[in-house]
Chains A and B, each alone.
Chain A
Amino acid sequence: MFRILACRMIVPNMHILTVEAPAVAREVQPGQFIIIRAEEEGERIPLSVSDWDRERGTVTTIFMSIGRTTHRLARLRSGEYLPTVVGPLGNASEIEHFGTVLLLGGCYGIGSLYPIARALKEKGNRVFVVIEARSSYLFYWEDRYRMLVDGVHHITRDGSKGIKGHIGRVPEILASLGEPVNRVIINGCTFCLKRGSDATRALGITTIVDLNPIMIDGTGMCGVCRVTVGGETKFACVQGPEFDGHEVDWEELSQRRKTYMAEEVIPLRTSKCEEHMHGEEHGRKEKHGQAAAPGEPPGRERKQPQHTGEVS
């Protein structure tokens, strides 16, 4: 069991979770991911690691509340437990002195790019960050980036901050930097990865993407995470998750990610009245009491979300 130190919404629908997992924290490198289960009957889902503290033995991840497991995860509070946190999985990002690197992040990718930015700076790279969202209120960690990197740029769908449009407008930012960019690294949803890769292809800039296929074990056993890269089948969990964005078969990846769309909405088609009533009135003793700390009344911390201290 892995104790949650903090779990709160950071911007609408996006959540930050910090959990005690000393063995993972000791080894984790930029670009790696963990697999978690939110409850005993839960599924195993991969989440990119956004930060860690080796001394405190904690790992931080940012996720979007989008399906059954992430909804459940978003409702957990400090002091409660996750039955599974396993990792670090996947290969670490390739971190070298590349020269100038542009990082492109949207959604949870804004968080998972942060350790990569930090490591690239340590290697002496010039690092620029482009963050992308529907609107300016969805940006987070801008201050953290501003203190770390050489420039932060914004793209918003509604034009409320930075360039109006989507990730396809990144060539304009590349041109405005006034220096050649040696590498682009993109983290985010499949659409963002694909559009970003499309945009840099003509410019001939090496583009690395952090793929996010469905996974179960995450250790190279089940094979559900297979993706086609450069015409070859690769297993993202042990041979990735980072690949050359110009070689990925995006259509196949998008299709494969939709495999369980129909099943995923089944549990969402209920208001779960009963569960909520138990949750509010009886401290979630019934089902969710399992995840509470032993000896503590379940749900005690529910209305007192704590800050992690890691978020500036």
Chain B
Amino acid sequence: MAEKKEKKPLDLNRREMPKQPPEVRKYNFNEVAFGYPEDVAVEEAKRCIMCKKARCVQNCPVEIDIPAFIQAVADRNFAEGIRIIKQKNCLPAICGRVCPQEDQCEKTCTLVKKEGQLAIGRLERFLADWEARQGHVEMPDIPEWTGKNVAVVGGGPAGLTVAGDLILRGHRVTIFEALHRLGGVLVYGIPEFRLPKEIVNREVEYLKRLGVEVHTDFVVGKTRTIDSLLEEYDAIFVGSGAGLPWFMNIPGENLNGVYSANEYLTRLNLMKGYLFPTYHTPIKAHRRVAVIGGGNVAMDCARSALRLGAESRIIYRRSREELPARFEEVENAEEEGVIFDFLTLPLRYIGDENGWVKEMVIQKMELGEPDDSGRRRPVPIEGSEETWPVDAVVCAIGNSPNPLIGTTTPGLKLGKKGNIEADEETGMTSREKIWAGGDIVTGAATVILAMGAGRKAANSIHEYLMNGNGHDGNGHDGNGAEHKTDPKENPDIPPDIHLP
């Protein structure tokens, strides 16, 4: 097979996934893309040139053996393909849908130079969905219990990854989740049309079948403190995620009809507000919705508002090039008819006599010199103020980390913004037996980065539980650089990094 491939001319035709047409999907909450049919997946996989030095793998936060699973798809050996992915990623159906592949594996695909980069994410999704369709999910062997118990605080992407990794190594794992459903941002944040909740439930059920114990409706920091849990557990991973939503601190933000993105999306997704009154949590049918921000969350809000029947616009203070959202989501939003107002900054909101927002005052911006982030700084244009009619505003400009753990765990070192300080390579915090990862450490980031942090923390926790390295009682070491790890045993530390 490999020989044949070398003789073949390069196929740069990146296969498209069939999607619901924009004029149809903008009126429903069903998933936008249908996924590859088998034959298309195989065609796409066959385009891979099987680089000897696979740079795609280096750019994957969880280091999936990408060429190996692509080869399996090309060979129509789908069972083998999904097995390869699951060695590194216990949530492939999710990552295949929401990872920013264009900034990771697909960005360093050799074919990217010719604009024909392999659709790695779509193939990952294909395999995960293929497995689900078989109605039989292969269960890996679980080693004998090591005698160790691990508590995972927060059932989002970071926590689910830690749980999946550690249960496969023979530890007992219990997840404590504050909400009534596992999944974190996967269930309360990302909308159904981008990530069907059935898929999250499928992955969560898989973890439960592996033996992960789950306590929902349990707020660590309130129902029990970290220190109380430490009496029962040998190690704790904190992945408690997003906290207080940020607002811009401009006049009128507490008017009715001004939402945080967290509220808007939680009503819709976790509470299924779009099915009101069958589900009991209401969501307003607004006519003109302005979403402030340019990230994935802003796209999710704007596209949701559209589906609820509103005229929906994104208000972003920089230009299209600087949009932090995944490119595919921007494209989807544009196709569906979301209006983009670039170089626009809200100044204040004006309410009606009943306290409902009715107008917003905006200012036009232009791009100036680059700022610290390397992006050109938006500068206000004098005299460009305008008043626009709106009946809802969704503020999607990020959030601070959840305060409940930091404020109830003495001795846990916090950063300036209230985030938990944790070593980037190991997830170790300033406190013995406590690891942390995901948004609680980094502030709002992506699902895959949270999973990557979970993977690293799981390795470090395993190392500690088995060998007592790092967080041992005799002089705790919270510094990853000094952390003794054999690179052969820890796949997340590249072998070319010098370790003492």
Residues of A within 8 A of B (CB): 23-24, 27, 37, 41-44, 68-69, 83-89, 216-217, 219-224, 226-228, 233, 235, 238, 251-252, 255-256, 258-260, 263-264, 266-267
Which of the residues A222, A264, A267 comes within 8 Å of B263, measured between beta carbons?
A222
Docked Cα-Cα span, A264 to B284, in Å, equals 11
CB distance from B254 to the nearest CB of A (A): 6
User: Contact at A224–B263, with CB atoms within 8 Å?
Assistant: yes
**B354: CB under 8 A from chain A?**
yes
**B256: CB under 8 A from chain A?**
yes
One of B88-96, B161-169, B217-225 at the interface: B217-225
Which residue of A has the minimal Cβ distance to B221? A219
| With A68-B280, A86-B223, A264-B282 as contacts: A219 and B178 at CB distance below 8 Å | yes
Q: Can you list the 7 inter-chain pairs with the closest CB atoms, starting with the nearest?
A: A255-B355, A263-B282, A223-B260, A86-B217, A223-B245, A43-B281, A222-B263
Q: Which of A24, A85, A219, A260 has the most CB of B within 10 A?
A: A219
User: Contact at B280–A266, with CB atoms within 8 Å?
Assistant: no
Which residue of A has the minimal Cβ distance to B278? A41
Residues of chain A with a CB closer than 8 A to B119's CB: none
User: Contact at B222–A87, with CB atoms within 8 Å?
Assistant: yes
User: Contact at A220–B244, with CB atoms within 8 Å?
Assistant: yes
CB distance from B381 to the nearest CB of A (A): 29
CB distance from B407 to the nearest CB of A (A): 9
Interface size class of B (residues with CB under 8 A): 35 or more
Q: Which of B217, B223, B260, B403 has the most CB of A within 10 A?
A: B217
Residues of chain A with a CB closer than 8 A to B304's CB: none
- Majority DSSP secondary structure for residues of B touching A: loop
CB distance from A30 to the nearest CB of B (A): 15
Residues of chain B with a CB closer than 8 A to A217's CB: 178-179, 188, 266
Residues of chain A with a CB closer than 8 A to B284's CB: 259-260, 263
User: Contact at A238–B279, with CB atoms within 8 Å?
Assistant: no
Docked Cα-Cα span, A251 to B355, in Å, equals 9
**B180: CB under 8 A from chain A?**
yes
User: Contact at B280–A43, with CB atoms within 8 Å?
Assistant: yes
User: Contact at B266–A222, with CB atoms within 8 Å?
Assistant: yes
Residues of chain B with a CB closer than 8 A to A264's CB: 282
Residues of chain A with a CB closer than 8 A to B462's CB: none
| With A23-B223, A68-B280, A223-B245 as contacts: A216 and B266 at CB distance below 8 Å | yes
* Chain B, 196-234, CB within 8 A of any chain A CB: 216-219, 222-224
User: Contact at B222–A89, with CB atoms within 8 Å?
Assistant: yes
User: Contact at B403–A220, with CB atoms within 8 Å?
Assistant: yes
User: Contact at A222–B260, with CB atoms within 8 Å?
Assistant: yes
**B262: CB under 8 A from chain A?**
yes
User: Contact at A41–B279, with CB atoms within 8 Å?
Assistant: yes
**B410: CB under 8 A from chain A?**
no
CB distance from B279 to the nearest CB of A (A): 5
Docked Cα-Cα span, A267 to B255, in Å, equals 25
Docked Cα-Cα span, A160 to B90, in Å, equals 66
* Chain B, 261-287, CB within 8 A of any chain A CB: 262-263, 266-267, 270-272, 276-284
Residues of chain B with a CB closer than 8 A to A228's CB: 254
A-B CB contact pairs (8 Å), 19 listed: A27-B222, A37-B180, A43-B279, A217-B188, A219-B222, A220-B402, A221-B244, A221-B399, A222-B260, A222-B262, A223-B244, A223-B260, A224-B263, A233-B254, A238-B244, A255-B354, A259-B256, A267-B277, A267-B280
Which residue of A has the minimal Cβ distance to B279? A41
* Given A84-B217, A267-B277, 19 additional A-B pairs, CB 8 A: A27-B223, A27-B224, A43-B282, A44-B281, A85-B217, A86-B217, A216-B267, A216-B271, A216-B281, A220-B404, A221-B241, A222-B266, A223-B245, A226-B254, A233-B253, A233-B254, A251-B355, A263-B277, A263-B282
CB distance from A223 to the nearest CB of B (A): 4
Residues of chain B with a CB closer than 8 A to A87's CB: 219, 222-223
**B243: CB under 8 A from chain A?**
yes
User: Contact at A88–B266, with CB atoms within 8 Å?
Assistant: no
**B464: CB under 8 A from chain A?**
no
Which of the residues B219, B256, B279, B355 comes within 8 Å of A219, measured between beta carbons?
B219
Docked Cα-Cα span, A259 to B273, in Å, equals 15
User: Contact at B282–A255, with CB atoms within 8 Å?
Assistant: no
CB distance from B268 to the nearest CB of A (A): 11
Docked Cα-Cα span, A88 to B217, in Å, equals 11
CB distance from B395 to the nearest CB of A (A): 9
Docked Cα-Cα span, A267 to B280, in Å, equals 9
Docked Cα-Cα span, A302 to B259, in Å, equals 41
